[in-house]
Amino acid sequence: MSKPVLQSSPVNHADFKELFRNLTAVFDSGKTRDLAWRRAQLNAVKKMMSECEAELFAALKADLGKSASESFMTETSYVSADAAYSAKNLNRWTRKRRVSTPVFGQPGQSWIQPEPLGIVLVIGAWNYPVQLTLAGMSAAIAAGNCVVIKPSELAPATSALLARLLPKYLDPDCVKVVEGSVPETTALLDLPFDHILYTGGGNVGRIVMAAAAKHLTPVTLELGGKSPCVVLPDANLETTARRIAWGKFTNAGQTCIAPDYLLTDTDTEALLVPLLEKCIREMFGDDPQKSDSYGRMVNDRHFQRVSAFIASGHTVIGGQLDAADKYIAPTVITDVAPDSAVMREEIFGPVLPIVRADNLEEAIALIRSGDKPLSAYIFTNNKRAERKFLEQVSSGNACVNDVMMFMTVHELPFGGVGPSGMGAYSGKRGFETFSHMKAVMKRGWWPDLALRYAPYTDKKLNLLRKIR
């Protein structure tokens, strides 16, 4: 049996090929197809989230400064609930799905039969290094696949912990963990996986897709983008401010579905800014740097990148920086031009720009002038405005009168559109993503109509026209 954890550089490509051969042999044995095996693995994921909670919280604190409550809410409880949901529905999802058979196919039966793809590579992300690694893994396991996990090296404490825990809780013959950085990821991408799930930025997403194309490997890409948040004057502004502040500043803004920028008119902005300031103070105190509930930037490079965005507008809330602590205060900037630096790329940090839009039409036009976002948000009591926004703004996910909460609904697929990603997973959609929906038809022996066989005649053609 190959080692479940491969250490970092120097990369020995022979080790990766051996790992892949071993997984192929295990998959071919049929071990992962067994529903009892799948259910046991999913239950083990849930058990690991509970029994190792303190260790997971400590690793997330070390990597991102996350509080225990935030780690529970956005990481461990999500993974646990997701695995439990899949385990509960496994029998239903794996059943044959019968479809009707036309007259010409009679006597016969037709159905769709889900089957596992084979070996799945899950390349995790650093911003939610537990959730965005293990949720994809659980979906692949639910579908009956072997899995290779590549945690993000930018969250080293969490990566090391997952590498230690996963072989203890999950079947080490079927689930492997590979730690490392670019060399290890590059070596893995040389292998002919049956599916690849990557969560991260668009530039690396293109590299993953290009590598997958060499083997015609399907990919699911979760790539983020600039998720807009429109606030109309009729919204309940106190609740709106509280929900936006929570969504934007959770994990210090390092969330792919966080509201990236806010669109509203001048009068609404004047009312909303003091409410945002009040909510930030209620959540993180007068000095968020001293709050146990407020996180840090993942590294110095991201600190410098996000800090530079503050100059794109007029700072009305926050703006304090501490490079040594990788701390950026919850910050709101106004007077932001649509073509400013902060509007040209995903912020992925605790800086919220407000861009003026006099009405919904103007806001929609600005959103549509850029790439399709991963998420889109609108706050309004106007049903017509809500409908117009949902119909005219294309996004991977959308939420009305809140942010990010669609993630709590396991029945909803999670995925991007256009540059914000392709494919989706979560719940049943995750099972389907990592399954092949095989089309099957079974024919009876009699009658075996001569109608379809040559020689063809006008009489046969006329009969065909009548029964098709």
Catalytic residues, which ones?
222, 256
DSSP SS3 for 337: coil
Residue type at 145? N
Rounded Cα distance between 128 and 173, Å, is: 26
Residue 77 to residues 37, 40, 164, 396, Cα–Cα distance (Å): 22, 18, 20, 23
Residue 98 φ/ψ, nearest 5 degrees? -75, 145
378: nearest Cα among 83, 359, 370, 369 = 359
Instruction: Indicate the helix (H) or strand (E) that contains 367.
Output: helix 360-368
Rounded Cα distance between 221 and 199, Å, is: 6
Residue pointed to by tokens 């260790």: 55
Q: Are strands 331-334 and 351-356 parallel, antiparallel or unpaired?
A: parallel
Two tokens at 340? 């400013």
Residue 312 to residues 146, 229, 334, 364, 415, Cα–Cα distance (Å): 47, 18, 9, 22, 30
Cα-based angle 159, 374, 74 (whole degrees, multiple of 5): 40
Rounded Cα distance between 139 and 38, Å, is: 10
Rounded Cα distance between 284 and 239, Å, is: 17
Q: Can you give the C-alpha Rg of the chain in angstroms? A: 25
Residue 434 carries which DSSP code?
T
Q: Are strands 331-334 and 314-317 parallel, antiparallel or unpaired?
A: antiparallel
The long-range contacts involving 312-317, CB below 8 angstroms and separated by at least 24 positions, are 312/336, 312/337, 312/340, 312/341, 312/342, 312/343, 312/353, 313/340, 313/342, 313/353, 313/354, 316/273, 316/277, 317/273, 317/276, 317/277, 317/280
CA 296 to chain centre: 21
Residue 359 carries which DSSP code?
S
Q: Give the dihedral sign, CA 442/448/453/457.
A: negative
Q: Are 393 and 368 in contact (CB under 8 A)?
A: yes
Residue 424 to residues 67, 131, 434, Cα–Cα distance (Å): 29, 15, 10
Residue 222 to residues 150, 152, 414, Cα–Cα distance (Å): 15, 14, 9
